[in-house]
Amino acid sequence: MPHRNAAVLDRSEPWIQNAIERVLLSEDQIRARIAELGQQISKDYAGQHVILVSILKGSVIFLADLVRSLNIPVGVDFMAVSSYVGSETSGIVRVTMDLRESAEGKHVILVEDIVDTGLTLAYLKNLLKARHVKSLKICALLDKKESHRVEVPVDYLGFKIPSEFVVGYGLDYSEQFRNLPFVGVLKREYYSKPDKKQK
């Protein structure tokens, strides 16, 4: 008998119904797009070894699916940065956890959940370039292009989305909703209470 995931999310639960305005990207849409990204990356890096650097915590679910869509040898590493208070960016990026292994001389792809102002990726791009990586590209699941304050070219993009606060598929609001299998728009009333957020 095929294995079935025992815990299936019940979308009629009040904690979802009261918070999510609408589903922006379904599980099927996300899965299909990641398969395409995986093919593209595998083609571009054929014959090379690449390190996927996941920016904690929002990109871990994306990373987990992306890495399994690749047909090339890959390593993974993690960095954590903090820049957000509630749903508003403070504009100050701080590395709170650094890579375990040196990235020098390696092909690196930064894996990010979402580009909003672009400040996080611009900062990390400069930081890694200064460490003399062999090559550096950016893969992001979501991009709010209208919210950019600095231009950061995304080499591998899942979806361009409107400038609304979204949660699910790894993305949180104050450590909630990461476990939703889809990406949903958070209702506006959830933005009102600011609190400290670690990405």
Is residue 115 involved in binding ligand IMP (CB under 6 A)?
A: yes
Closest approach of ligand IMP to the CB of residue 109, in Å: 15
- The binding track of 76-95 with respect to ligand IMP, each residue x by CB under 6 A or -, is -------xx----x------
Is residue 120 involved in binding ligand IMP (CB under 6 A)?
A: yes
Q: CB-based contacts of 11: which residues, under 8 Å, 6+ apart?
A: 17
Known catalytic residue at 116: yes
Closest approach of ligand IMP to the CB of residue 29, in Å: 17
Is residue 117 involved in binding ligand IMP (CB under 6 A)?
A: yes
Interface positions with ligand IMP (CB under 6 A): 55, 58, 83-84, 89, 112-120, 165-167, 171, 199
